[in-house]
Amino acid sequence: MSTDTTPLHRQLGLTDWENDRIPELLGREPTGPELVMFSLMWSEHCSYKHSKPLLRGFPTEGPTVLQGPGENAGAIDIGDGLAVTFKIESHNHPSAVEPFEGAATGVGGIIRDILAMGAKPIALLDSLRFGSLRSNRSRYLFRRAVEGIGHYGNCIGIPTVGGEVLFDPVYEDSCLVNAMCVGIVPADRILRAAAEGVGNRLILFGNRTGKDGIGGASVLASAEFSHDDDKRPSVQVSDPFTERKLMDCCQALADSGLLVALQDLGAAGLTSSASEMASKGGVGLRIDLDRVPLREEGMAPAEILVSESQERMLAVVTPEDVDAAIALCEAYDLDATDIGEVTEGDALVAVHNGEVVVDIPARLLADDAPVYEVPQDPAPEPAPIDPSTVPEPSDLVQAWCDLLATPSIASKRWVYEQYDHLVGANTVVRPGGDAAVIRVPGTATGLALTTDCAERHCQADPRGGGAAGVLEAARNIACVGGTPAAITNCLNFPNPEKGHTGWRLAQAIAGMADACRALGTPVVSGNVSLYNESAERMIYPTPVVGMVGILDDAAATTGHGFVAEGDVVLLAGGAEPRLDASEYLGSAEGRPDTPDIGAEVALCRFVADAVSSGSVRSAHDVSQGGLAVALAESAMAGSIGATVTLDGDTRPDVALFGEAGGRVLLTCTPEGVEGLLSRAGDVPLREVGVVGGDALSVQIGGASVILGVDRAREAYETAIPDALR
Amino acid sequence: MSTPAVTVIHFPGSLDHEAAARVMDEITGPGNGATIVSHRAAALPEGTAAVVLPGGFSYGDHLRCGAIASRAPIMDAVREFAERGGPVLGICNGFQILCESGLLPGVLRPNDTQAFICRQATLEIVDDSTPWTSGRSSGETLSVPIKHHDGAWQGDTAACRVVFRYRDGNPNGSQDAIAGIANHAGNVMGLMPHPEMACEELLGSADGRVVMGGLLPGSAVAA
């Protein structure tokens, strides 16, 4: 810390009120290490003190839920005696300071959450936001964060199968790096983090403990941001090779039945893991700090307790099993040390040089952080865009190409080709489509995986936008034949204590909850990242949804590319395209329509049924860039064009590029049209064209707009590599 | 226990050993499958008919890809097995290990893009006289994925047989677009592409069976 005269508690991120509260709760003044521990555990990152009351609005229960929020990750039953466990988490602030290590350790951290459930990780996804690629800094952050994600995922051997990347100047100072991990575990063998059994031993295994990442949760993740190289030592350092050994070792330990409980060490290190394990189990823990294997001599007790050194896990085992557990770790070339025991009472005690340096009821750290109601100041309702005020492009084909070359829409091949998306040999649908499909190892079942968010919609209308993000995820799942099953989410917001952010947070949560209830997709895990703003800019409300869907048969899926000449092109869903908050407009201005949740759910059911029954040849969600972009993506993916006619008197650019939730582009054989129409029931479904040729030819308003597939591909594929040159 | 036909070596950081073993289990039938053996072993299991050095990041790619693994205890046994004419297939990191251990010539340099690349590649069969291209002719192509950061082979083509070349673009800047080579005897094969990831139509291609079939020639493995 610096030599300034700011009181220690403020340097640590505690408010004066919080600092006064600690002695009241403890009945005495805290020791130095205790104050540091409180500062971390009461940080927003660890305690959710500004979001906890709002998060109660999420539906978290359902017939398949085996584990809801509150554990290392959520879990749902997928049949065959198996559970899928998954969670998404942010590593935004570290990534803005040091993008390679920040993003890499974000991936490492979320993998350990899945390991702590006793599960085998089978897929990773990443949801990323950066400023404009015209900015040098954003290009650097984007390039290095992608490298960091690839480095970690590739080396540890978990396929990175999906995600999204969007660019907007609002993320210039606060990039977002959200990582999601999905694992599989026998449903009757899910591990929990609650410590149990007085006399049981605590085994710390994995990497040694060093001075890296000290204060990451409080210094970096719980304050507004200024670019400050002094914060760099707060970023952790990644070692995916060790985490691979840790991953194999955790599964061996879980298989062996030696574990009473398992927890990863993440934000706030040993402090967080130990206090949560004790508090959940209603027991005390006594840790002998002299036994913690250190990377360097002379670390102070507080440093050992809050170090965020990566690739470490904490297990509870019975005294009889200590030797066997340590031997198993050593067989994986990992250090494992008995560092303490489960005790009676509720105190987290730490001993250093024979002296008790910490003695705190664990729940004060883990559960009793102050909770704040955030101000609810509604933002004014924005006016809808009047299309007549938006100049009509003179050249619609050029406008179409320009939109395909917009970095948020353009091909993300440059990103996903840097990720091993095939390792494990279970990837059925690869990145680049609507959702990835991964076969559950050893079964025929498929998991459809996607991350989505409607952040511009959220800025204009947070409740509608919150719902829209969930519904878009569901459409993406449906387009590969999956039935939406459950979600995780990462709520990335600016400072909730200021302006309309607290209200937007509450509204977005309400909107997401609306959609989740209607879809029957409970929220089983999640993470909150606040303070994503600088003095100049605040991010859009960005509540990222990570959704898991189920395919009974992983082979009963389809791609988004057109397949064969003569196939019929159909548009499902009746939402009306608008320019408001669209990529074509290039901003969050306007007021998108509030989603018709009932209609959207019906659309998803129809599409999932049409795909899984083999009634369609392709399916593609119509999202950013509107129908024109969806048509182009399907044409490029299949290397074949289509002739499409759009009726109605909507202005051509609005019809082509306008956005609305709840539309899906389908193709089927000419013989299949009738059956598909009857399957659709009340879901609006209309024929719009025929697949064929080497161009997209759209008849609209008496004119023809013709774009060659090769020209589309040129615009779409070169945009991001060119921007980075 | 049945006699292991194919031995897949596991080094710390190996990633694709299970996929390779699973493929050989599937295509050779139950009871005749693959065994995964630790790098620490001093000898190959009795009855080993073929050896796979799998893909991955052995030892975290520390020092140089494949360099540490090439000195692992098991490698003496693999070298001896290869010298006796036993089929040895090195895939990706396994190819790097074969080059580092001197069983194949040349080196694998970082891709000319300086980035990891994961994509489907088209391989042209250059030499159809090895067991690794059984039933196929020179000029035919296979669709097999690549996923590597250090895959640009460079070396003396007179010291080996070029078996596969990339067609439709060279993804990593390798010499003459070379994707895989064998020793003159043909029993030791190294390639950067992953045939074990291309053995099921569900995963996009089953062409990899042609290469995997070289492990057990005559077993009608190749599709």
Sequence-distant (6+) residues with CB within 8 A of A125 are: A88, A160, A161, A162, A163, A179, A180, A182, A436, A449, A450, A451, A546
Determine the average pLDDT of the residues in A169-179: 97
Residue B95 phi, psi dihedral angles, 5° rounding: -65, -45
The overall pTM is greater than 0.90: yes
What pLDDT does B33 receive? Answer: 76
> In this predicted model, what pLDDT tens digit does every residue of A539-583 receive, in sequence order?
999 999 999 999 999 999 999 999 999 999 999 999 999 999 999
Strands B117-125 and B141-148: antiparallel
- The mean per-residue pLDDT over the stretch A636-661 comes to 94
Three-state SS for A556-585 is CCCCCCCCCCCCEEEEECCCCCECCCCCCC
**Is residue A389 classed as helix, strand or coil in its secondary structure?**
helix
Q: Take residue B72 and report the two structure tokens written for it.
A: 């692992």
Helices A597-612 and A462-479: angle between axes, nearest 10 degrees: 10
The answer to whether the CB atoms of B57 and A554 lie below 8 A apart is: no
- The predicted pLDDT at position A211 comes to 85
Cβ–Cβ < 8 Å for A195, A260: yes
pLDDT at A231 > cutoff 80: no
Q: How much is the pLDDT for B4?
A: 59
Other beta carbons within 10 Å of A675? 14
CB A609 within 8 A of CB A678: no
Strand partners for A313: A205, A264
Structure tokens at B216: 């057990």
| 3-class secondary-structure state, position A117 | coil
Task: State the Cα–Cα distance between residues A257 and B199, nearest whole angstrom.
Answer: 35
Assess contact for A169 and A131: CB atoms under 8 A.
yes
Q: Which of A45, A93, A352, A560 is catalytic?
A: A45
Which residues on B lie below 8 Å from A239 (Cβ)? 60
Is B62 in Cβ contact with A422 (below 8 Å)? Answer: no
pLDDT band, residue A217 (cuts 50/70/90): low
A298 contacts A310 by C-beta, under 8 angstroms: no
Q: Do A129 and A169 form a contact (C-beta atoms < 8 A)?
A: no
Q: In what order do the strands lie in the sheet with A176-186?
A: A65-67, A74-79, A82-90, A176-186, A120-130, A160-167
Q: What is the mean pLDDT of residues B21-41?
A: 84
Q: Which of A344-353, A383-392, A460-469, B28-37 has the lowest mean pLDDT?
A: B28-37
pLDDT confidence of residue A214 = 75
Question: What is the token pair recorded at A26?
Answer: 């403890």
Chain A interface includes B61 (CB < 8 A): yes
Would the pLDDT of A111 be above 70?
Answer: yes
User: What's the rounded Cα separation, in Å, for the pair A644 and A628?
Assistant: 10
Specify whether the CB–CB gap between A312 and A293 falls below 8 A.
no
Q: Write down the residue that tokens 């995922």 correspond to.
A: A153
Measured CA distances, A234 to A217, A228, A606 (Å): 9, 11, 49
Tell me the shortest Cα–Cα distance from A198 to chain B, in angstroms.
36
Phi, psi of A358 (to 5 degrees): -140, 135
Q: At A375, which amino acid appears? A: P
Q: For A232-246, A471-485, A685-699, B7-21, which range has the lowest pLDDT when averaged over its residues? A: A232-246
> What's residue A661's pLDDT?
87
For residue A704, the cross-strand partners are: A699
Q: Look at B118 and A333 and tell me if their CB atoms are within 8 Å.
A: no
Q: Where are the alpha helices (DSSP H) in A431-461?
A: 455-460
Q: Taking 90 as the threshold, does the pLDDT of residue A317 lie above it? A: yes
Cβ contact B109:B154 at 8 Å: yes
Q: For B28-31, which contacts have Cβ atoms below 8 Å and span 24 or more sequence positions?
A: B28/B216, B28/B219, B28/B221, B31/B2
Q: Which residues of B127-153 are buried (b: 16+ CB within 10 A; e: fewer)?
A: beebbbbbebeeeebbebbbbbbbbbb
Closest partner CB to B57 (pick from A155, A333, A417): A155
- For residue B88, with 0-12 CB atoms within 10 Å meaning exposed, 13-18 middle and 19 or more buried, which class applies? buried
Choose the mutation target among A416, A423, A440, A720 for the interface with B, i.e. most B CBs under 10 Å.
A423
A33-79 residue pLDDT tens: 999 999 999 988 888 899 999 999 999 999 999 999 989 999 999 99
Looking at the complex, does the CB of residue B59 fall below 8 Å from at least one CB of chain A?
yes
Q: What pLDDT sits at residue A266?
A: 87
Question: Length of chain A, please?
Answer: 725
- Please, what is the end-to-end C-alpha distance for chain B in angstroms? 28
CB A51 within 8 A of CB A496: yes
Whether A235 shows a pLDDT value over 80: the answer reads no
What is the number of other CB atoms lying within 10 angstroms of the CB of residue A708?
16
Mean pLDDT of A110-129: 97
Q: For residue A208, give how far its alpha carbon lies from the nearest alpha carbon of chain B (Å).
A: 17
Contacts of A702 (CB under 8 A, 6+ apart): none
What span, in angstroms and rounded, lies between the C-alpha atoms of A597 and A587?
Answer: 24
C-beta atoms surrounding A524 within 10 Å: 31
Residues A95-104 have pLDDT tens digits of 999 999 999 9
Of the residues A207, A420, A558, the best mutation for testing chain B's interface (the one with the most B CB atoms within 10 Å of its CB) is A420
A45 annotated active-site:
yes
- Pairing between β-strand B6-10 and β-strand B34-38 as defined by DSSP bridges: parallel
Kindly give the residue spans of alpha helices, DSSP state H, lying in A382-490: 396-404, 413-416, 455-460, 462-479
Reported as a single tens digit per residue, the pLDDT across B57-109 is: 999 888 889 999 999 999 999 999 999 999 999 999 999 999 999 999 999 99
Tokens representing A56?
Answer: 């109660």
Mean pLDDT computed over A372-398: 94
Residue A446's region, left for phi above 0, alpha for psi from -120 to 50, else beta, is beta
Q: State the residue for tokens 């917009």.
A: A406
For residue A1, the model assigns a pLDDT of 44
How far is Cα A324 from Cα A328, in angstroms, rounded to an integer? Answer: 6
Give the C-alpha separation, A469 to A480, whole Å.
Answer: 17
CB contact under 8 A, B118 and A421: yes
Specify the pairing of strand A523-529 against strand A568-572. unpaired
Whether A427 sits inside 8 A of B194 (CB atoms) is no
User: Which residues are CB-neighbours of B124 under 8 A, at least 6 positions away?
Assistant: B139, B140, B141, B164, B165, B166, B167
User: In chain B, which among 3-22 make CB contacts under 8 A with chain A?
Assistant: 12-13, 15-16, 18-19, 22
* Residue of A641, A537, A628, A548 whose CA lies nearest to A77: A548
Who's near A622: CB < 8 A, 6+ residues apart? A571, A573, A630, A660, A663, A664, A665
Supply the Cα-derived Rg of chain A in whole angstroms.
Answer: 26
- Out of B17, B65, B194, B199, pick the active-site residue: B194
Q: If we measure between CA atoms, which residue out of A76, A237, A73, A85 comes closest to residue A148?
A: A237
What pLDDT is attached to residue B222?
Answer: 40
Interface list for chain A against chain B, based on CB atoms closer than 8 Å: 147, 150, 154-155, 157, 239-242, 244-245, 333, 416-428, 430, 439, 554-555
Spell out the residues 6+ positions from residue B10 whose beta carbon is closer than 8 angstroms to its own.
B17, B36, B37, B38, B39, B54
What is the per-residue pLDDT for A115?
Answer: 96
CA pair distance B40, B59, nearest whole angstrom: 13
d(CA A192, CA B64): 39
Q: What residue has token string 């083999």?
A: A614
pLDDT, greater one: A358 or A228: A358
A198 vs A47, higher pLDDT: A198
CB A95 within 8 A of CB A549: no
Please report, rounded to a whole number, the percentage of residues in chain A having pLDDT higher than 70.
Answer: 97
Residue B219 has pLDDT above 60, yes or no: no
The pLDDT score that the predictor gives to residue A4 is 65
